[in-house]
Amino acid sequence: MRLRRLAPCAVLTVFLTALPTGCGGVNGGVRVEGPAPTAIPWSGPVYVADLYGRAWQRPRTIELTELISLDRLTWRDWGAPKPRATGEASCTAGCSAGQPRSYPVQVVLSHRVRRASVAYYGEATITPVHPPAPLWATGFDRPETLNLPDG
């Protein structure tokens, strides 16, 4: 009687030890085949947020900082990974004496960040059309981080 109870346990032990171990049954790991999946291009609405967090599409004006605004913007390729605009950068406060209060610029937005069912551009690069830029615009030759709503 005791032997009859142990027989199923012995068979189960032999069966379990014969099974491969690990996730996917390949020597303790997952076997991955084929190319990695590619990113799905964004197809929803895209916005840019100004200094105050207001969302805009193809804005004519963006208040970039407390000191500088981008005005008279004309956009190309809005919604693309890097839309471009021409316009002018204007000094709104703290302008250097003897320097122009505005100058023509090219603007490139980049680094789309998804927030719920929309996306926002996270960076702006401002380049003077006719260098050099006025002294009050020093530092805008590298990407400027833009406001993003909380995710």
Summarised one tens digit per residue, pLDDT across range 4-48 is 555 555 555 555 555 555 555 556 667 777 776 656 666 789 999
3-state secondary structure the chain: CHHHHHHHHHHHHHHHHHCCCCHHHECCECCCCCCCCCCCCCCCCEEEECCCCCEECCCCCEECCCCEEEEEEEEECCCCCCCEEEEEEEECCCCCCCCCCEEEEEEEEEEEEEECCEEEEEEEEEEECCCCCCHHHCCCCCCEECECCCC
Write down the pLDDT at residue 86.
98
Mean pLDDT computed over 73-96:
94
pTM exceeds 0.75: no
Residue 33 is assigned to a structural domain of this protein: no
Residue 121 belongs to a domain: yes
Question: Domain for residue 9, yes or no?
Answer: no
Residue 24 domain flag: no
Q: Is the pLDDT of residue 70 over 80?
A: yes
Domain span including residue 115: 46-145
41 located within any domain = no
Residue 68 lies in a domain: yes
Question: How many independent structural domains does the chain possess?
Answer: 1
The answer as to whether 38 is a domain residue is: no
- The reply to whether 86 falls in a domain is yes
